[in-house]
Structure 1
Amino acid sequence: MSIDKILAISGKPGLYALKVQTRTGFVAESLTDGKKITVGLRSNVSLLSEISVYTYDGEVRLSEVFTAIAKKEDKGPSISHKEDNATLIAYFREVMPDFDEDRVYASDIKKIINWYNMLQAKDLVTIEEPTEETEEAVTTETEQESDK
């Protein structure tokens, strides 16, 4: 799953695709309606690829959570994020049985499920696991950048 250029912008609903970086910020396009907006550097922006979910054993990347949901739903949509908290927590426990219930709140689960459904509707969800070749390529690129 490639969520490297997908953004969540604080104070703005939905998800956005990073289009162009500018001197004063960047231009993003809404995944829901396709409208482009400019976002300043002072805005609180999160890349989905940088978000993790707490588990009892550490942290799991959000892309891995999306992959687990996609496997459970056979790449189809998941339950609605508007379900009651008990239903959402039970569903998330099926997907991620070892998530840390003290640090992952129902509001976090709502966001994750809502984001998954948005990405799934745009056909941006895949079940493919990263191969050893892609992991080695990323490691090599990271090492080359740190040598500079």
Structure 2
Amino acid sequence: MSLDNILSITGKPGLYQLKNKARSGFVVQSIVDNKTSIVGMNHNVSVLKDISIYTYDAEMPLKDVFNKMAAKEDQGPAINHKSSKEELSAYFNEVLPEYDEDRVYPSDIKKVVQWYNILQKNDLLPSEEDAASEEE
């Protein structure tokens, strides 16, 4: 599965799958509870495909971070996103040792881990094949 249709919506918990575009916004379905709703244009919507994590060298696309997490966890769930800041930072440092600690905040790490676990639980993680086909 690709991250093209997976959305994060400011002010709404969890992740959403884009179902359709409407005149006044988007029709989305929650990945967590499968409820469908309409999100207006006044909400800040981010497509996971467009999100990157700062590293010291460049920015790493979120799908690559998820692939590193999946490899570390052998496709299983990651650490709980409600763990302490220190535990989350240590975990993220194992997954992505080159992440820029000055620009990637603990709240960002918490979100990435939570998103990974939601996608992993629902079997929606992007695979290596998805990444290769997107590059072509």
- Same structural fold, with TM-score higher than 0.5 when normalized by the shorter chain: yes
TM-score (norm 2): 0.95
Aligned residues: 135
Higher relative contact order (CA 8 A, sep 6+): 2
Contact 1:26 1:38 in 2 (8 A): yes
1:135 Cα deviation after fit? 1.8
Corresponding residue for 1:97? 97
Greater Cα radius of gyration, structure 1 or 2: 1
| Percentage of pairs with the same residue | 56
Q: 1:1-148 alignment to 2 at 5 Å?
A: 1-128=1-128, 130-131=131-132, 134-136=134-136
Contact 2:27 2:37 in 1 (8 A): yes
Q: Label 1:128 to 1:33 Cα distance change in 2 as closer, same or farther (>3 A).
A: same
Contact 1:71 1:127 in 2 (8 A): no
Deviations 1:41-67 (A, max 9, x none): 121100000100000001000010000
Contact 1:70 1:127 in 2 (8 A): no
- The CA distance in 1 between the partners of 2:77 and 2:83, in whole Å, is 14
Contact 2:93 2:99 in 1 (8 A): yes
Contact 2:48 2:62 in 1 (8 A): yes
1:134 Cα deviation after fit? 4.4
- The CA distance in 2 between the partners of 1:134 and 1:73, in whole Å, is 24
1:128 Cα deviation after fit? 1.5
Contact 1:53 1:99 in 2 (8 A): yes
Corresponding residue for 1:146? none
- The CA distance in 2 between the partners of 1:108 and 1:80, in whole Å, is 14
- List gaps (5 residues or longer) in structure 1: 137-148
CA RMSD, Structure 1 to Structure 2 (Å): 1.2
- The CA distance in 2 between the partners of 1:115 and 1:121, in whole Å, is 10
